Homo-oligomer: A and B are copies of this chain.
Amino acid sequence: MYSIEESGAFVETFELEPTHSGPLDGLRWAAKDLIDVAGYKTGCGNPTWRETHPPAVTNAVCVDQLLSAGARCVGKTLTDELAFSLDGENYFYGTPVNPRAPDRVPGGSSSGSASAVACRQVDFALGTDTGGSIRIPANNCGIYGMRPSHDRVSLAGVMAFAPTYDTVGVLAADPSILDLTARVLLGCAEAREARVGTMYLISEAFEQADDAVRSALAEPVERLRRRYGDRIKELSLENLSESSAPDLFRTWFEAFRVVQWAEIWSSLGDWVERCRPEFGPRTRNNFSLVRGLDRSEVGAAVRQREFLFRRLHWILESGDVLCMPTAPAFAPVKGSLPNNRSEGSYYPRTVSFNSLSGVGRLPQVSMPLGESGGVPVGLSLLTRHGEDAFLLDVMAQVVQGAA
């Protein structure tokens, strides 16, 4: 396996004692370097940010929750610059290793958290996810990752990026550790037997995924069919969107994108203009895109977003689950992505897949159930907003079936 130095997953290491004994006794974990740990700088993956901010004076609330549940924090993990990426290639600090596919990117922006978990350097790690930043690294590195329902885990002490979509969540190699940890963060009910209503396979997500991804997931999907029988149904985005536009993911993507870009500039524009940070080429491009947004569009985008949210929750009943590939494509080969995220298909397609839970405020878990030629592929489950405890119950049921 990889040493801490070889993996490049950590920004720094230390040992923070738990403050109480609890359900996470004995577990070791790390926090993405977007999350405050008292006494350490929150570097956010950019050297100018690190220079212009002092060490945090107190822990983020999520850090205190984990310490008081018995877990020991052993370091901070690398993030893509200001969380604004899905690749994990940090121009300044390098690319944490993806131990399952070392020629491919680990995924970002929670790149170091995924790498540290996949290298078995920690039992779990905290990440953040606005448009895929936990789910994509979990997918790429062959581990479990959960984006909780929006507004269920405290964001205090975590860098604000796009607050309408920002979440704190967790990555782990062992689903039972993911379960335990997520329940501490969520302050939610204990595990129970899941009673699944309908499990919907999202038609367009399976159709638009690369053939190789679909093939890699054929067997896990077949197991779901055997497990849930006629409770498995197909669901088209046409039903979810009340529209028959030719590319329906585009509708979700656009509602997501406009609000996200407007919020990123509202959150970080002051610092960018004041400090004139040095950026890597991709980040520079990203910020020139968000700075150039026509902000008078944002009112219409919020209305569209809320329409899709209501429509989704009108169709999904309590106990229903959505299922889709986490990503439309394999983890890209290192160095292969364009500097402008609007070019090429990887970013628009991947953000589209991930926008379903962003727009819908849905919790989502990515499970490492497929692979092809050694490259891991994730299958995702989603459910109604706020039903995170149920989603964890369903994950346990599905994984049990897979074992």
Instruction: Report which A residues bind B (CB closer than 8 A).
Output: 19-20, 22, 36, 53-54, 56-61, 64-65, 67-69, 150-151, 154-157, 160, 162-164, 184, 186-189, 259, 262-263, 265-267, 269-270, 272-274, 295-300, 302-307, 310, 361
Partner of A154, one of B57, B188, B263: B263
Partner of A64, one of B19, B59, B69, B295: B295
Question: In the assembly, how many copies of this chain are there?
Answer: 2
Whether A296 contacts B188 in the complex (CB less than 8 A), given A160-B156, A266-B36, comes out as: no
A169 to chain B, nearest CB (A): 15
A32 to chain B, nearest CB (A): 15
Whether A56 contacts B163 in the complex (CB less than 8 A), given A68-B299, A187-B302, A259-B154, comes out as: no
Do residues A269 and B151 form an inter-chain contact, with CB atoms below 8 A?
A: no
| C-alpha gap A381/B155 in the complex (Å) | 28
Q: Which residues of B contact A265 (CB under 8 A)?
A: 57-58
Q: Which residues of B contact A267 (CB under 8 A)?
A: 156-157
| C-alpha gap A36/B266 in the complex (Å) | 8
| C-alpha gap A265/B157 in the complex (Å) | 9
A30 to chain B, nearest CB (A): 19
| C-alpha gap A310/B149 in the complex (Å) | 15
Instruction: Name, among A57, A154, A266, A300, the residue most crowded by chain B CB atoms within 10 Å (CB to CB).
Output: A266
| C-alpha gap A307/B299 in the complex (Å) | 35
Do residues A184 and B150 form an inter-chain contact, with CB atoms below 8 A?
A: no
Q: Which residues of B contact A361 (CB under 8 A)?
A: 151
Do residues A64 and B296 form an inter-chain contact, with CB atoms below 8 A?
A: yes
Partner of A20, one of B64, B262, B296, B305: B296
Do residues A67 and B296 form an inter-chain contact, with CB atoms below 8 A?
A: yes
Q: Which residues of B contact A299 (CB under 8 A)?
A: 20, 22, 64-65, 68-69, 184, 187
| C-alpha gap A114/B49 in the complex (Å) | 38
